[in-house]
Amino acid sequence: MYSTKIKGVGHFVPDNVVTNDDLSKIMDTSDEWIQERTGIQERRWIEDGSDENTASMGAKAARKAIENAGLTKDDIDFIIFATLSPDYFFPGSGVLIQDMLDMPTIGAVDIRNQCSGLVYSISIADQFIKTGMYKNILVIGSEYHSGALDKTTRGRGLAVLFGDGAGALVLSRSEDPSKGILSTHLHSQGEHAEVLTVKTPSIRHWVPAIIAAGEEDTSYHPFMDGQKVFKHAIVRFSEAIDEGLEANKLTAEDIDLFIPHQANLRITQFVQRRFKLSDDQVFSNIQKYGNTTAASIAIAMSEANEQGKMKDGDLVVLAAFGSGFTWGSVVIRW
Ligand code: ACO
């Protein structure tokens, strides 16, 4: 058996910054309400009329991750792509990214696990690498939320939370068992599927037409029972971290950096208190980007790497919870 190390990281976010004050001009909300409940100060939204999309952002993040890994596109054996905002109802955007990156005929799969998508993708890539099937796998998360949000007062409960962006990782075969991904744990509970959902696809081609038609039907906008999500998130985040630590005979004191899915600063702070982690041990960038769902952990890892926060031998813990419900954790010796 081989082990899996994260060899490269990269991210891309659209240039267009949307502040809380900008939102308060188009819906009944305020900077104070948003910051107090979520920690979010601003997010990036693809500008109206731009031809940027889920796949194009993913491809840009992927190019950076491949370069950061010191590899070329020809070294990549497989693509795992996570999103809840695919460009088409089908095919998945993984193949669109494969085409944009000019990687002919390697396999590409889409993972539809929302906020947990990146953790699931890392776990799947880890299995393929450990068993020797592939050497270098590109894992990408990308979200184009702004195309489907209800940007009126009716949709303010959700519209203020989500941002657009993409992050990517290159996972590679390693012969050193003391480093790399130590464990992954995945869970789901479909009985809560309706608590955070979009029922009518798809973002790029169907939804804009329905919105333009001014239909009364709002099933194409995301729906969320925010309080239920909050209550489950804090429990499941904690369980997933405990599970990962116990499997490796580690404790919270061993964590050098905790990178949670950037759902909500209050959720992160709750988990931080529960595990008695210092501010230095926790990475947050939700203040700048909002919740970028499947992209959030990869964007955070890419920024943490740029800031030199993941050093050789550090214990890095990832955890996510989201729609499904689905949740999971990844423990990495960097
Ligand atoms: N601006 C101003 N007022 C608002 C806004 C807004 N953007 N959104 C809702 N309100 C109003 C509501 O209409 C309501 O008004 P009312 O009392 O007159 O009816 C009031 O604020 C309270 O609304 P709640 O939905 O009860 O607000 P709550 O305090 O629960 O905060 C929030 C909402 C932030 C979503 C909270 O439930 C939460 O943190 N949930 C966790 C879920 C989460 O963070 N999800 C992220 C995505 S999922 C994931 O990544 C795991």
Q: Are residues 166 and 236 in the same domain?
A: no
Q: Are residues 153 and 11 in the same domain?
A: yes
| Whether residue 201 has pLDDT greater than 70 | no
In percent, how much of the chain has pLDDT > 70? 94
pLDDT of residue 221: 78
**Nearest-angstrom CA–CA distance, 164 and 293:** 9
Q: Are residues 166 and 207 in the same domain?
A: no
Of the residues 20, 53, 113, 291, only one is catalytic, namely 291
| Whether residue 310 has pLDDT greater than 90 | yes
Mean pLDDT of 223-251: 95
Q: Are residues 125 and 203 in the same domain?
A: no
In percent, how much of the chain has pLDDT > 90? 87
Q: Terminal CA-to-CA distance of the chain, rounded, Å?
A: 19
Q: Are residues 15 and 36 in the same domain?
A: yes
Per the structure, the count of domains in the chain is 2
Q: Are residues 198 and 144 in the same domain?
A: no
- Domain endpoint, select from 144, 174, 204: 174
Ligand 1 centroid to 242 CA: how many Å?
28
* CATH assignment of the domain containing 224: 3.40.47.10
pLDDT of residue 207: 64
- Domain endpoint, select from 174, 196, 227: 174
**Per-residue pLDDT tens over the stretch 259-280:** 999 999 999 999 999 999 999 9
Ligand 1 centroid to 216 CA: how many Å?
23
In the residue annotation, 53 being an active-site residue is answered as: no
**Nearest-angstrom CA–CA distance, 145 and 86:** 10
For ligand 1, pick from 30, 33, 228 the residue to mutate: most ligand atoms within 8 Å of CB: 33
**Per-residue pLDDT tens over the stretch 47-71:** 999 999 999 999 999 999 999 999 9
Q: Are residues 41 and 128 in the same domain?
A: yes
**pTM confidence score:** 0.89
Q: Are residues 111 and 188 in the same domain?
A: no
Domain that holds residue 34: 3-174
Banded model confidence at residue 326, pLDDT cuts 50, 70, 90: confident
Q: Are residues 257 and 287 in the same domain?
A: yes
Of the residues 53, 115, 136, 264, only one is catalytic, namely 115
Q: Are residues 164 and 15 in the same domain?
A: yes
CA dist 309 → 125, 242, 281 (Å): 24, 22, 9
Q: Are residues 115 and 135 in the same domain?
A: yes
E strands present in the chain: 3-12, 17-19, 42-44, 78-82, 107-111, 136-143, 165-174, 180-188, 196-197, 223-224, 257-260, 315-322, 326-333
Beta bridge partners of 317: 258, 331
Q: Are residues 162 and 192 in the same domain?
A: no
Ligand 1 centroid to 224 CA: how many Å?
9
